[in-house]
């Protein structure tokens, strides 16, 4: 494991890059946004390729924050309707950065902050920051950490922890776009997707959940058996296993051409499948060049008492963990 200077933000703040390598896998993580900049894994012939979409330099991430390439997003991943929620009788108004709604933590969410970093053993880096009370409208001083670790098989674990001094809501995820044929190789719509979910949370025109559950049987949302996704997905899947104390395998991604296989295991109850249909012409990637599998609690949970709770109170510890396994077949 090693750390190096990656660049500096316009205000002069330095950004470092940490490289972890184990089990035939090499990943690089930035202190800016907690970004997973790259993940290099071999194909069935042993040839490595970078399979996580990202930029070679810091300027790309600063200039193009909207896709959230590889970033840690929070305090609240996904959308909060109307940019507001009520907790314990108090209404909190959030930064609105997605029409009338709040998305991925607001104008300057966790993806645009520089994190402190330190090694956590020989094959892990721990990122940490304190989100002050009122940041982007969220209540409570939130002390948060994200630990990226590689195990002996090359599986990448992303573990989140947070504590607060006042009641708040928390929902963290990683926003990596995967292309198992290699970043920049073209579209990922030929990848086979598998998701262990019998239901989704359907959404309105602004991608806000309607509050009900919808069965996937007989619909284009049925990925219980692996198949290609195609375009047109930006939806939360209700994982059959629910919230669990330890990660359980819930999804898979496979590229038949290279043989690369990705499995996703998580403690979270939901997974957002996003097929990157909205990449703009200024990006080095075209629409559909990557597939995001964002483990999460459900969108707009603070306004939906029927959804699993995202409330964190003083004395409690938020914990979430997702593991990305790499293999070939």
**234 is an annotated ligand-binding site residue:** yes
Residue 91 CB burial class (10 angstroms; 0-12, 13-18, ≥19): exposed
Over residues 66-76, the mean pLDDT reads 97
**79 is an annotated ligand-binding site residue:** yes
Q: How confident is the model at residue 221 (pLDDT cuts 50, 70, 90)?
A: very high
**278 is an annotated ligand-binding site residue:** no
Query: Which residue, among 204, 199, 225, has the nearest Cα to 303 in the 3D structure?
Result: 204
| DSSP state, residue 109 | -
Higher model confidence: residue 280 or residue 87?
87
Distance of CA 22 to the CA centre of its chain: 22
Residue partners of 63: CB distance under 8 A and separation at least 6: none
**160 is an annotated ligand-binding site residue:** no
Q: From CA 59, how far away is CA 6, in angstroms rounded?
A: 10
Name 301's bridge partners.
Answer: none
Q: Respond yes or no: is residue 294 known to be catalytic.
A: yes
Position 314 scores a pLDDT of 98
CB 214 within 8 A of CB 198: no
Q: Is 98 in a helix, a strand, or coil?
A: strand
Share of the chain above pLDDT 90, in %: 99
Q: From CA 111, how far away is CA 73, in angstroms rounded?
A: 5
pLDDT exceeds cutoff 90 at 79: yes
Residue of 92, 175, 235, 297 with catalytic role: 175
Name 192's bridge partners.
Answer: 228, 254
CATH numbers and ranges of domains, the chain: 2-328 (2.70.98.10)
Q: Respond yes or no: is residue 175 known to be catalytic.
A: yes
pLDDT exceeds cutoff 90 at 86: yes
Kindly report, residue by residue over 9-25, the tens digit of the pLDDT: 999 999 999 999 999 99
Kindly report, residue by residue over 122-166, the tens digit of the pLDDT: 999 999 999 999 999 999 999 999 999 999 999 999 999 999 999
Q: How confident is the model at residue 312 (pLDDT cuts 50, 70, 90)?
A: very high
**76 is an annotated ligand-binding site residue:** no
Query: Which tokens is 97 given?
Result: 């950065």
Give the mean pLDDT of the chain.
Answer: 97
**213 is an annotated ligand-binding site residue:** no
Maximum pairwise Cα distance, the chain: 59
pLDDT exceeds cutoff 90 at 281: no
């Amino acid at each position: 494991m090693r750390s190096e200077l990656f660049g500096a933000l316009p205000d002069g703040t330095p950004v470092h890059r940490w490289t972890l390598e184990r089990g035939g896998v090499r990943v690089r993580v930035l202190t800016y946004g907690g970004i997973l900049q790259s993940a290099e894994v071999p194909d069935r012939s042993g040839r490595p390729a970078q399979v996580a979409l990202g930029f070679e330099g810091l300027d790309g991430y600063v200039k193009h924050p909207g896709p959230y390439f590889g970033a840690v997003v929070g305090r609240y991943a996904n959308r909060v309707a109307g940019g507001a929620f009520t907790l314990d009788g108090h209404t909190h108004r959030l930064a609105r950065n997605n029409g009338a709604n709040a998305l991925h933590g607001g104008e300057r969410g966790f993806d645009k902050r520089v994190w402190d970093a330190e090694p956590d053993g020989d094959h892990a880096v721990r990122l940490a920051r304190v989100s002050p009370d009122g940041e982007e409208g969220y209540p409570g001083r939130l002390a948060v950490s994200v630990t990226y670790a590689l195990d002996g098989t090359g599986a990448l674990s992303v573990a989140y922890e947070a504590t607060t001094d006042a009641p708040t809501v928390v929902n963290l995820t990683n926003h990596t776009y995967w292309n198992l044929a290699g970043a920049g190789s073209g579209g990922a719509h030929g990848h086979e997707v598998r998701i262990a979910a019998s239901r989704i949370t359907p959404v309105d025109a602004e991608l806000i959940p309607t509050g009900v559950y919808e069965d996937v049987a007989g619909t284009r949302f049925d990925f219980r058996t692996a198949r290609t996704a195609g375009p047109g997905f930006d939806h939360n899947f209700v994982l059959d296993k629910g919230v669990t104390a330890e990660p359980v395998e819930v999804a898979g991604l496979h590229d038949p051409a290279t043989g690369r296989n990705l499995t996703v295991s998580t403690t979270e109850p939901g997974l957002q499948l996003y097929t990157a249909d909205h990449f703009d012409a200024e990006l080095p990637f075209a629409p559909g060049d990557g597939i995001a599998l964002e483990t999460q609690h459900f969108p707009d949970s603070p306004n939906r008492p029927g959804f699993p709770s995202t409330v964190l109170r003083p004395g409690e510890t938020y914990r979430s963990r997702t593991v990305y396994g790499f293999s070939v077949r």
